Amino acid sequence: MLERHIFIIGMPGSGKSSLGRKVAANLRLGYVDTDRRIAELVGISIPEIFKKYGEAKFRTAEKNLLIRLVTEPPQIISTGGGMVMDPFNRELMRNYGVILLVDRPLEQILGDIKLDRRPTFLEGGLEEVERVYHERYETYHSAADLVLDNSKGYYNGVTNMERLIRSRFRLN
Ligand code: S3P
């Protein structure tokens, strides 16, 4: 059992969800992916939510979900890449948990990011990914309590994320 939430933050395509899901299963911790939860609640995909209702509505839904999740028992919460950019969300994350940044080199993200699942990159493509990477870099790093270097592949990422969490929370 965790005494605080673990908020996983980072760029789209950095590996937040795949690593978070696997590590939560390995450590037998609760897990939620905020994008997936919003899509389930609304009943349509994230790109469809953006298209039908616009980004501002999505951001409101994201914030409301975070407000709800922080009062639940601590778990691993994988967040959408824009969640921590909002100062109010950042404050909540700081107050209720530990913020873990998944840090993956831009070149690797550009190499395999799935643009069709990411409405904010629909127009600008890889150039927009690059712009957003640089725009968010400082905020991601200054918000993070823990930084996971995810430059050496999935299995290395899983092992190192587990190690970080075990030592931070003194789990066996
Ligand atoms: C967003 C990232 C997405 C999703 C939405 C907006 C962003 O999540 O929340 O498309 O602004 O970076 P992922 O980081 O899981 O792609």
Give the residue-averaged pLDDT of 35-55. 97
Q: How far, in Å, is the centroid of ligand 1 from the Cα of 23?
A: 20
State the DSSP code for 28: T
Question: What is the rounded CA–CA span in Å between residue 11 and residue 102?
Answer: 8
CA nearest neighbour of 58 among 79, 40, 35, 86: 35
Q: How far, in Å, is the centroid of ligand 1 from the Cα of 170?
A: 31
Q: DSSP readout, 70-95? A: TTSSP-EEE--TTGGGSHHHHHHHHH
- Mean confidence (pLDDT) of the chain: 97
State residue 158 phi and psi, 5-degree precision: -65, -50
pLDDT band at 171 (very low <50, low <70, confident <90, very high): confident
Q: What is the pLDDT of residue 1?
A: 79
Beta bridge partners of 31: 76
Mutate to test the pocket of ligand 1, among 21, 41, 46 (most ligand atoms within 8 A of CB): 46
Superfamily of domain 5-169: P-loop containing nucleotide triphosphate hydrolases (3.40.50.300)
Q: Where are the domains of the chain?
A: 5-169
Mutate to test the pocket of ligand 1, among 7, 14, 35 (most ligand atoms within 8 A of CB): 35
Q: What is the pLDDT of residues 75-123, one digit of tens each?
A: 999 999 999 999 999 999 999 999 999 999 999 999 999 999 999 999 9
Residues whose beta carbon lies within 6 Å of some atom of ligand 1: 12, 16-17, 35, 46, 80-82, 118-120
The b/e string for 131-147 (b: 16+ C-beta within 10 A; e otherwise) is ebbeebeeebeebbbbe
